Amino acid sequence: MGMRFEVLKQDSRTGARLGRLTTPHGVVDTPVFMPVGTQGTVKTMTPEEVRDLGARIILSNTYHLYLRPGHELVREAGGLHRFMHWDGPILTDSGGFQVFSLAALRKLSDEGVEFRSHHDGSRHFFTPEQVVAVQEALGSDIAMVLDECAPYPCSYEEARTAMRRTTHWAARARAAWNGGGATTLFGIIQGSVYRDLREESARALVDLDFPGYGIGGLSVGEPKPLMCEALEWVIPLIPEDRPRYLMGVGSPDCLFEGIARGVDMFDCVLPTRMARHGAVFTHAGRLVVRNAPNARDFGPLDPGCTCYTCRHFSRAYVHHLLKAGEVLGIRLTTIHNLHFVLDLARRIREAIAEDRFQSLKEQFLATCLTPARIYSKTT
């Protein structure tokens, strides 16, 4: 009933690989980008629209769904898939990142984390076991363990404390997960930018024999070369038959860099967040549609793009909608951005299958000026 993963092909020049993830709610080809539906919805989009754009798996957030509407209500509704009308696989993160980002509202201990709701100030307590139970109540295909994400920058001692607590919690979560149901549990590798801590975390989690592994604590402000270096430290330590999930990373350049090092799964709010702020990906770089020069530009957002927005609307029209505060404006930019990233993942899979991943990577990065900084994964 749970998840199966198989590697179908390895690129001849890099660590890039094609895989197939089989879950109770469908098959997912990897490498894959997962749109983020934090509160049970990909913002401004219907499930049918998300699927039509090419998404086969989405991500939702345990912390937010636990607080509102509540996991027991979702269970009563028949699970998150039925509640949100999405029939494909769902990965839920543990909510740990959201809890730990609310530094003034939480208190950590080895037992778990006490926090106050950002909605009404009510007190709650997450334990590793409870977080597993909440995700099983949601009916997640893939659940993540509770982890402590150290900030960047942080001292070696802070990173070590967070990493070892994450390992301790992972062992408890692994024991609480029965392993025989529909939900599959992934461990999360931490350790900030310290090589020995990253390697210690990876080895300890591999010893716990999780079906898959998240790589957390990156895309939190560190320089991009450090992110790439951290991947090179830990990926060789993860068994080849387990999926590797780089958490909270999804800019086009980082997709290429992660896949080149053997990453299989990605998620990020970047495409939808950029869209809500009036910016889009294009093959010539990042375009801020809200900016004045687009007011009289009657061409598409991205010449050659085949998404619904680019086939039917001009930059001038989308600019007008955004300036006027019309909801259609952010729907159109969201459609475009999700299409861009999902289609890029599809093209990458094709390139790996045809042994031309490296040439696609070089060509893309030479022509597409991606965002100057790596964005946080907070919602």
Residues that are catalytic: 93, 267
State the residue for tokens 């001009």: 314
**DSSP states of 4-28:** EEEEEEE-SSSS-EEEEEEETTEEE
Structure tokens at 326: 């019309």
What is the Cα–Cα distance from 340 to 271, expressed in whole angstroms?
Answer: 9
Contact (CB, 8 A) for 169 and 146: yes
Of 34, 7, 17, 18, residue with least CA distance to 88? 34
For residue 227, CA distances in Å to 144, 254, 261, 319 come to 21, 9, 11, 35
CA distance 357 to 48: 30
Burial 253-281 (b: 16+ CB within 10 A, else e): bbbbbbbbbbbbbbbbbbbbbbbbebbbb
Look at the alpha carbons of 366, 369, 371, 377 in this order and tell me if their dihedral is positive or negative.
Answer: negative
| Burial zone of 124 (CB within 10 Å; 0-12 exposed, 13-18 middle, 19+ buried) | middle
Q: Which of the 8 DSSP states describes residue 237?
A: G
One-letter amino acid of 312: H
